[in-house]
């Protein structure tokens, strides 16, 4: 082993003005696409569509657009057509070029920087149209305006056909068709459901706006009509949005509570309804852009909701003395949509994940305080039902705290005392260590013998664990199947969860490749999602993929992870002799493997296959967990019927 320290090498080239690069026009976008659309993965690909649709939505916000059509064409090109005013085609004074050309070729150009074209808009960075153009193999824009059709064509941001009049029309609006550049993206295949979800969201947020989406790809022709075309228009706006979120849950009051107000150039609307679940769903938007990290509008809402419920409870004598219900208590079982619109939205970061305008907090807070208080006075039965739920949540939380304390006393949860079944690793640096949560003692024994004890810990689980979707926190803390997991990870649970205390930076679920194994995996993931969410958000959770088959020919042995791989390996092992005998055995479970096999196939970092568990869409994940793990049978039955065709490797 060399003891010489690696030093930086001197670059033997001159460093003068000629080395300084100025990226002109849209070169910067093609050089660093992630800065503008987040990534060049499938999420960035879909982001291109959102940018063009957002421009159409901005026309709707300005009161001129009533219908937006999105089409996935053959070859995964996209067409977005709106009936707004049409992008201006007259000469833009600063550049001396047609406004249409400026919008599609100049990075920070648009009608949203105080020119009076828009009161509010989502695309405040002024990069949307030009970025889509820069990242498209080709793009064609047609403008229907003043009785004429204007057309302009581009390729990778450069003009290939100057703006010209190509016909006459009695329509008005803009049509954009583009093909994402395969040089820029990991994939160029659009997912209908992803786009449909976003378009549905926009239709809910803009009451009365009609949005249609269709999939015209030939390979989609065998899909049911409803999967290839959706027409969405919601006169009830975010009221209907809340109802849609609660469609798989049982509301505890029939009507959706709706509040709205404005101050100066800012408007805010809030819709909420409680259900009988134990989880909260708060989804917020600013200028129709989803803010997954919340911001000032969420903060204002949460504070006001807690304050109003406590004030009402004390006024009616339901909450005695100095007792209070916490924010967490009042949000149990809540579904709420918050939508604000404002002229000068200040988003934190290019991806617009969090709203920073402090004035919005005060606006949302005052609307909720005034209008919810009035609603409670006029609807005492609803107020009482909501408050009773919050009080029950408060009592359950107190019971959970006592259960937690009892566990601490009993097991030394924070004293360093680890579960009896845990076979810990030698290394104590969390960044280097990993824990295998293993189904059953048998597999746990093989894993313990086969592992690398320097950095791999093993925790066997036995029996089916609690479905936390149907249980309150106090039941979770006292559960004998989950408690060893909580203790071993060492980071706490619920609102006390602290990633800095996590003892392993890889949490690997290792279960059999059968129905029971899938069930255990799902139960564990439900637990992590509901009570240790940062674990998934941070990318610490993995699923080990064990092999399905072992193939032998003489002394040669290989494993396969799928039926296709089995057939391929079998052909390779026969080689020139198609009649050669290959012994193929299906692994019935992890416990059948000897320690060496388990190490080589499932635990050796050099040869194993791990699947990282990620959350692309937390709201969708929440919905799926509710459907699959919740109390209601009908939604689960419908889901199974709809998705049965995708099921593989089902043990009969």
644 vs 29, higher pLDDT = 29
DSSP letters, 95-136, are TTEEHHHHHHH-SS-SS-SSSSS-SS-S-TTS-HHHHHHHTE
Q: What does the pLDDT read at residue 231?
A: 95
Q: What does the pLDDT read at residue 416?
A: 55
Asked if pLDDT for residue 131 goes beyond 80, the answer is: yes
Q: How far apart are CA 336 and CA 238, in angstroms?
A: 9
**Tokens standing for residue 146:** 């003043």
For the segment 572-629, what is each residue's pLDDT rounded down to a tens digit?
A: 888 878 788 888 888 777 777 888 888 888 899 988 888 888 876 555 555 665 666 6
Q: Is the dihedral of CA 639, 641, 646, 650 positive or negative?
A: positive
- 514 a catalytic residue: yes
For the segment 132-159, what is each residue's pLDDT rounded down to a tens digit?
A: 999 999 999 999 999 999 999 999 999 9
Q: How far apart are CA 157 and CA 135, in angstroms?
A: 7
**Tokens standing for residue 626:** 């509710």
Average pLDDT (350-363) is: 83
The answer for 300, left when phi > 0, alpha when psi is -120 to 50, beta otherwise, is alpha
3-state helix/strand/coil string of 541-563: EEEECCCCEEEEECCEEEEECCH
DSSP letter at 166 equals E
Asked if pLDDT for residue 195 goes beyond 50, the answer is: yes
Which H or E run includes 43?
helix 42-61
For the segment 419-435, what is each residue's pLDDT rounded down to a tens digit?
A: 888 999 999 899 999 99
CA 197 to the chain's CA centroid: 12
For the segment 370-429, what is each residue's pLDDT rounded down to a tens digit?
A: 999 999 999 999 999 999 999 988 888 787 777 666 655 554 444 457 888 899 999 989
Cα separations (Å) of 475 from 390, 471, 506? 18, 6, 27
Alpha helices in 467-608 (DSSP H): 473-477, 483-489, 515-531, 533-537, 563-574, 595-598
**Tokens standing for residue 641:** 């019927």
Which residues 6+ apart lie within 8 Å of 605 measured at CB? none
Q: What does the pLDDT read at residue 20?
A: 35
Given the residues 58, 59, 269, 512, the one annotated as active site: 512
DSSP letter at 509 equals E
Q: What does the pLDDT read at residue 352?
A: 62
Strand order in the sheet with 556-560: 556-560, 549-553, 583-586
Asked if pLDDT for residue 116 goes beyond 50, the answer is: no
- 516 a catalytic residue: yes
For the segment 505-553, what is each residue's pLDDT rounded down to a tens digit?
A: 999 998 887 777 777 888 888 888 888 888 988 889 998 888 888 888 8
Asked if pLDDT for residue 161 goes beyond 90, the answer is: yes
**Phi, psi for residue 75 in degrees, rounded to 5:** 85, 10
Strand order in the sheet with 257-263: 257-263, 266-274, 334-341, 281-286, 289-290
- 439 a catalytic residue: yes
Which residues in 190-348 belong to E strands, given as ranges? Answer: 210-215, 229-232, 257-263, 266-274, 281-286, 289-290, 334-341
Asked if pLDDT for residue 9 goes beyond 90, the answer is: no
Burial class (CB in 10 A: 0-12, 13-18, 19+), 182: exposed
Given the residues 439, 469, 474, 597, the one annotated as active site: 439
Strand duo 136-145 + 97-98: pairing: unpaired
Contact (Cβ atoms closer than 8 angstroms) between residue 339 and residue 282: no
Closest CA to 302 of 342, 269, 330: 330
Q: What does the pLDDT read at residue 415?
A: 47
214 vs 473, higher pLDDT = 214
Q: What does the pLDDT read at residue 61?
A: 79
DSSP letter at 593 equals S
Cα separations (Å) of 338 from 331, 335, 363? 14, 10, 12
Q: How far apart are CA 505 and CA 489, in angstroms?
A: 9
DSSP letter at 469 equals G
- 512 a catalytic residue: yes
Given the residues 227, 516, 617, 631, the one annotated as active site: 516
Q: Which residue has the tokens 């409670």?
A: 376
Q: Which residue has the tokens 């006393």?
A: 409
Given the residues 27, 370, 441, 514, the one annotated as active site: 514
Q: What does the pLDDT read at residue 597?
A: 82
Q: How far apart are CA 94 and CA 96, in angstroms?
A: 6
Please give the radius of gyration of the chain, using alpha carbons only, rounded to the nearest integer: 29
Mean pLDDT of the chain: 83
Q: Sorting pLDDT into bands at 50, 70 and 90, what band is 23?
A: very low
Q: What does the pLDDT read at residue 547?
A: 85
Which residues in 216-256 belong to E strands, given as ranges? Answer: 229-232
Q: Which residue has the tokens 């980071």?
A: 491
Q: Which residue has the tokens 């993206």?
A: 185
**Phi, psi for residue 273 in degrees, rounded to 5:** -155, 135
Asked if pLDDT for residue 115 goes beyond 80, the answer is: no
564 vs 516, higher pLDDT = 564
Asked if pLDDT for residue 42 goes beyond 60, the answer is: yes
Q: How far apart are CA 210 and CA 200, in angstroms?
A: 10
Q: Which of 94-103, 259-268, 303-312 has the highest mean pLDDT?
A: 303-312
């Amino acid at each position: 082993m060399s003891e010489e320290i690696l030093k930086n090498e001197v670059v033997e080239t001159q460093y003068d003005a000629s080395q300084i690069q100025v990226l002109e026009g849209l070169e910067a976008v093609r050089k660093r696409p992630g800065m503008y659309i987040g990534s060049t993965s499938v999420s960035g690909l879909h982001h291109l569509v959102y940018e063009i649709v957002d421009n159409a939505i901005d026309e709707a916000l300005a009161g001129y657009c009533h219908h937006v059509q999105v089409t996935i064409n053959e070859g995964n090109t996209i067409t977005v057509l709106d009936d707004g005013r049409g992008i201006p085609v007259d000469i833009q004074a600063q550049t001396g070029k047609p406004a249409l050309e400026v919008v599609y070729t100049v990075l920070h150009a648009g009608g949203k920087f105080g020119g009076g074209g828009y009161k509010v808009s989502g695309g405040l960075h002024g990069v949307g149209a030009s970025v889509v153009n820069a990242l498209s193999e080709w793009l064609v824009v047609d403008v229907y305006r003043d009785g004429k059709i204007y057309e302009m064509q581009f390729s990778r941001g450069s003009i290939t056909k100057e703006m010209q009049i190509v016909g006459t029309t009695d329509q008005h609006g803009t049509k954009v068709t583009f093909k994402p550049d395969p040089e820029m993206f990991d994939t160029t295949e659009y997912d209908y459901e992803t786009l449909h979800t976003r378009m549905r969201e926009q239709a809910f947020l803009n009451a009365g706006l009609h949005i249609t989406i269709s999939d015209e790809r030939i390979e989609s022709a065998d899909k049911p009509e409803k999967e290839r075309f959706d027409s969405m228009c919601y006169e009830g706006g975010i009221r209907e949005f809340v109802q849609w979120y609660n469609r798989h849950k049982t509301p505890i009051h029939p009507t959706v509570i709706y509040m709205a107000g404005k101050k100066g150039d800012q408007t805010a609307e809030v819709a909420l309804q409680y259900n009988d679940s134990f989880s909260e769903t708060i989804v917020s938007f600013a200028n129709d852009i989803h803010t997954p990290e919340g911001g000032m509008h969420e903060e204002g809402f949460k504070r006001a909701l807690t304050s109003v419920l406590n004030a009402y409870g004390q006024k009616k004598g339901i909450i005695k003395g100095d007792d209070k219900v916490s924010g967490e208590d009042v949000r149990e079982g809540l579904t709420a949509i918050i939508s604000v619109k404002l002229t000068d939205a200040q988003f934190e970061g290019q991806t617009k994940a969090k709203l920073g305008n402090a004035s919005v907090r005060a606006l949302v807070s005052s609307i909720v305080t005034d209008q919810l208080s009035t609603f409670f006075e006029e609807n005492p039965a609803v107020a009482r039902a909501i408050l009773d739920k919050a009080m029950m949540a408060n009592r359950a939380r107190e019971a959970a705290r006592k259960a937690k304390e009892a566990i601490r006393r009993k097991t030394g949860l924070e004293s360093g005392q680890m579960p009896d079944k845990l076979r810990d690793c030698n290394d104590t640096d969390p960044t280097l260590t990993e824990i295998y949560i293993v189904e059953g003692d048998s597999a746990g024994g093989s894993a313990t013998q086969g592992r690398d004890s320097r950095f791999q810990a093993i925790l066997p689980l036995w029996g089916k664990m609690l479905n936390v979707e149907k249980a309150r926190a106090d039941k979770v803390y006292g559960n004998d199947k989950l408690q060893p997991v909580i203790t071993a990870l060492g980071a706490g649970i619920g609102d006390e969860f602290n990633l800095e205390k996590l003892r392993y930076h890889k949490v690997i679920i290792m279960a059999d490749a059968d129905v029971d194994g899938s069930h255990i995996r799902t139960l564990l993931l439900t637990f992590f999602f509901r009570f240790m969410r940062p674990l998934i958000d941070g990318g610490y959770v993995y699923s080990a993929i064990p092999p399905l088959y072992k193939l032998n020919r003489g002394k040669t042995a290989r494993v396969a992870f799928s039926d296709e791989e089995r057939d391929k390996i079998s052909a390779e092992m026969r080689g020139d002799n198609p009649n050669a005998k290959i012994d193929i055995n299906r692994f019935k479970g992890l416990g059948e493997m000897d320690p060496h096999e388990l190490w080589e196939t499932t635990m050796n970092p050099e040869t194993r296959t791990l699947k990282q568990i990620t959350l692309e869409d937390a709201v969708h994940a929440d919905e799926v967990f509710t459907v699959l793990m919740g109390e209601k049978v009908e939604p689960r039955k419908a889901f199974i019927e709809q998705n049965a065709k995708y099921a593989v490797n089902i043990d009969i």
